[in-house]
Amino acid sequence: MYLKILFYGAKSYDEQFFKHVLKDYPKLEIHFTDANIHEETAALAEGFDAICAFVNADLGTNVINQLAKHHIRLILMRCAGFNNVDLKRAGELGIAVMRVPGYSPEAVAEHAMALALTANRHTHKAYIKCRENDFSLSGLMGVNFYGKTAGIIGTGKIGQAMANICRGFGMRVIGYDKYENPEAKIQYMPLDKVLKESDLISLHCPLTEETHHMINKQTIQSMKNGVILVNTSRGGLIKTEDLIEGIRAGKFFAVGLDVYEEEGPYVYEDLSEQILQTSTMARLLSFPNVTVTSHQGFLTVEAMESIARTTLQNAVDFLEKRHSDNELTHCHF
């Protein structure tokens, strides 16, 4: 018995790493398409047992219904997040959903600190200035992180890794999480107190109904003036219009974003020859103290190999009817 899997939205790095580790999983057959999954492309799954998707996939109710018609029994998410998956409908239709909860916490945490440093020291601006033979220091003033307070919101494995990095910079680390992590060695406080005391705020929590727009006009007002905000988790944690209002009001010293609300149709796509149909991203990029990257926090060699191995092991566990902590719905082949 073997499992035939179609990878949707596959990029060159996906093919590289999944093909590399496939030799260790002889019961699996994998195929790739660069088309992402939505209602119109769900039919490509005909003849497969399972599909593999990423964080930018549409796996809502209608797509799940289409996959069931094509006899898909397993959805493999090659990422930690699953807010784009209708788990209830998948369970009703007997489709198992599995994810990769912890591929490389350090990869994302290191990118979060890179964003914080870049936005703080205006490295992105300095690079462009030097390329144009402008070696002046105007507009490049930063602040020390040493001796400051880092507020970690969401203290799972990634938040814990970020806390360790911040301590390495000589920062006091405080944090908030609905479920405290005893291994994180973080001084826990209520969310409003973390927001009020932090010089650097880094978001590392999942997107849920409870956390949606947790950074909004009210919570921004409670922050210190001159705070640095970093988000490498999910764009929906921040109400973008309120963030823009706060940036214009001078509330933030710097902002670093690897995720943003409107990234859905744009993420991982080359749109350099197109005009974006919304102005939110253009407004964010217009601010000299904002640094934006394209949801690349996960993109390291170590993380990609871990994602590939865990995803394929999830498929084998499903095939062999083994329990896995990575199951989001419980069904078997």
Active site residue 295: yes
Torsion of CA 162, 165, 167, 173, to 10 degrees: -10
Give me the catalytic one of 111, 234, 261, 309.
234
b/e per residue, 230-240, with b = 16+ CB within 10 A? bbbbbbbbbbb
Q: Find the helix or strand (DSSP H, E) in which 254 lies.
A: strand 252-257
Where helices occur in 57-103 by DSSP H, the ranges are 61-69, 87-92
Q: What is the CA radius of gyration of the chain?
A: 21
Give me the catalytic one of 73, 89, 111, 295.
295
Q: Do the Cβ atoms of 85 and 113 come closer than 8 Å?
A: no
Q: How far apart are CA 175 and CA 201, in angstroms?
A: 9
Q: How far apart are CA 304 and CA 23, in angstroms?
A: 16
Active site residue 78: no
Active site residue 71: no
Give φ, ψ of 144 to 5 degrees. -70, 145
Residue 333 exposure: Cα atoms within 13 Å on the Cβ side: 19
SS3 label, residue 109: helix
Q: How far apart are CA 98 and CA 332, in angstroms?
A: 11
Q: Do the Cβ atoms of 198 and 174 come closer than 8 Å?
A: yes
Q: How far is CA 80 from CA 87, 158, 255, in A?
A: 14, 11, 24
Give me the catalytic one of 89, 122, 263, 309.
263
Q: Which residues contact 153 (CB under 8 A, 6 or more apart)?
A: 159, 175, 176, 177, 191, 194, 201, 202, 203, 204, 205, 214
**Amino acid, single-letter form, for residue 203:** L
Q: What amino acid positions are annotated as catalytic residues?
A: 234, 263, 295
